[in-house]
Amino acid sequence: MEFTAQQIAGLLNGQIEGDATATVTKLSKIEEGETGSISFLANPKYTQYIYTTKASLVIVNKDLVLTAPVSATLIRVDSAETAFAKLLEMYNQIKLNKTGISKLAFISESAKVGENIYAGEFAVIGDNVKIGNNVKIYPQVFIGDNAVIGDNTTLFAGVKIYSETQIGKNCIIHSGTVIGSDGFRFNPQNDNQKIPQIGNVIIEDDVEIGANCAIDRATLGSTILRKGVKFDNLVHIAHNVEIGENSYLAAANVIAGSTKIGKNCMFSGQVGIVGHVEIADNTIITAQSGISKSITKKGEVLMGSPAFEASKYRKTYVHFRNLDALVQKVNQLEKDKGK
């Protein structure tokens, strides 16, 4: 689609400096700008590119002071970063605004489907499934029997939703993610007999789950992701785990069974947490940390494996790096003492 500087300035409540009729059809980085694209400048480190970019439009802060002529038309706003983020969101909505049901999709006669949905090729919707309004189901998505999908939720290509799963409104689930597969439970006292997993997964509103995640169904009851939870790619959540509201988990997090995560927690990449523990609200855990016991104090920052308070860990690590030199000194002292 094509937009003029005048149209974009109107959407962003910005002021035009240059050709109001200049048109754009795509987005670009300012250092990689080309004719017909729109970019933005927010970080001062990139100011040099405002004078060389070939982008047709550039969104800048109102207080930007130019020291040389620029060829691009400028749109001045209070915050270039915020304005460009708004533009990206609008662009994404237009790009992903798919509707209609493919002739190659299968929808069970007992399923209840809302208005204005999209179902792509080879999507499968099972018996007694309930689909809300404005739901987007991309090609090769599978939704098992008795599942519930809330309004305005998007399931990208290849997502697999097992039976009984409940997903709220305004959720986004990226390709390759599996929700509701069996929890990992076997009985070693009886030839590793599989323990049936008859619970489900509940995902509340406004949750986003990255690509290739796995969220296991509960043994009994529910595995729960509360409102506003955000996952990066490759996150594994085991049976009966509960993730509190607005918690963020980066790539390759692994949470073992029956663990309870509080609200507003932030875990960096490759964090591992053992089962049957509780993590207090507002906990921050740094990358590659291992949690082996409950964290009861709210707002702690943890590091290491096993993890403990981050500032203490950093001080301890200094000594660890010097450990070899200290051992050599001790050995030398013992030798000198024996002479």
Question: Does 107 lie in the same domain as 83?
Answer: no
For residue 198, give both structure tokens: 């008859």
Quote the CA–CA distance of 73 and 86 in Å, as a whole number: 19
Domain final residue, candidates 45, 67, 95: 95
Domain final residue, candidates 77, 95, 113: 95
Token pair 């500032």 is at which residue?
A: 311
Quote the CA–CA distance of 34 and 51 in Å, as a whole number: 13
β-bridge partners, 98 = none
The CA-to-CA distance between both ends of the chain, in Å, stands at: 86
In a domain, 214, yes or no: yes
β-bridge partners, 172 = 154, 208
For residue 313, give both structure tokens: 């860990």
**Hey, which residues are catalytic here?**
239
Structure confidence at residue 42 (pLDDT): 95
In a domain, 256, yes or no: yes
DSSP annotation string for 241-286: -EE-TT-EE-TT-EE-TT-EE-TT-EE-TT-EE-SS-EE-TT-EE-
Structure confidence at residue 329 (pLDDT): 86
Question: One digit per residue, pLDDT tens: the chain, 339 residues?
Answer: 799 999 999 999 999 999 999 999 999 999 999 999 999 999 999 999 999 999 999 999 999 999 999 999 999 999 999 999 999 888 888 888 888 999 999 999 999 999 999 999 999 999 999 999 999 999 999 999 999 999 999 999 999 999 999 999 999 999 999 999 999 999 888 899 999 999 999 999 999 999 999 999 999 999 999 999 999 999 999 999 999 999 999 999 999 999 999 999 999 999 999 999 999 999 999 999 999 999 999 999 999 887 878 788 778 777 777 888 888 888 888 888 876
Q: How far is C-alpha 205 from the geometric centre of its chain's CA atoms?
A: 14
Question: Does 219 lie in the same domain as 157?
Answer: yes
Structure confidence at residue 339 (pLDDT): 63
C-alpha separations of 136 from 100, 113, 169, 286, 306 in Å: 9, 11, 12, 35, 42
In a domain, 339, yes or no: no
For residue 292, give both structure tokens: 């082996």
Quote the CA–CA distance of 78 and 12 in Å, as a whole number: 10
Quote the CA–CA distance of 3 and 36 in Å, as a whole number: 10
Q: How many domains does the chain have?
A: 2
Please state the length of the chain: 339
Q: How far is C-alpha 48 from the geometric centre of its chain's CA atoms?
A: 32
For residue 251, give both structure tokens: 């790539």
Question: Does 114 lie in the same domain as 88?
Answer: no
Question: Does 86 lie in the same domain as 70?
Answer: yes
In a domain, 335, yes or no: no
In a domain, 283, yes or no: yes
* 122: CATH: 2.160.10.10
Domain range enclosing 37: 3-95
CB 135 within 8 A of CB 153: yes
- Return the closest-CA partner of residue 204 out of 144, 234, 245: 245
Structure confidence at residue 333 (pLDDT): 86
Structure confidence at residue 322 (pLDDT): 80
Q: Give the torsion sign (CA, 44, 33, 95, 91).
A: positive
For residue 216, give both structure tokens: 């296991």
DSSP 56: S
Q: Which pLDDT tens digit goes with each residue over 54-100?
A: 999 999 999 999 999 999 999 999 999 999 999 988 888 888 888 89
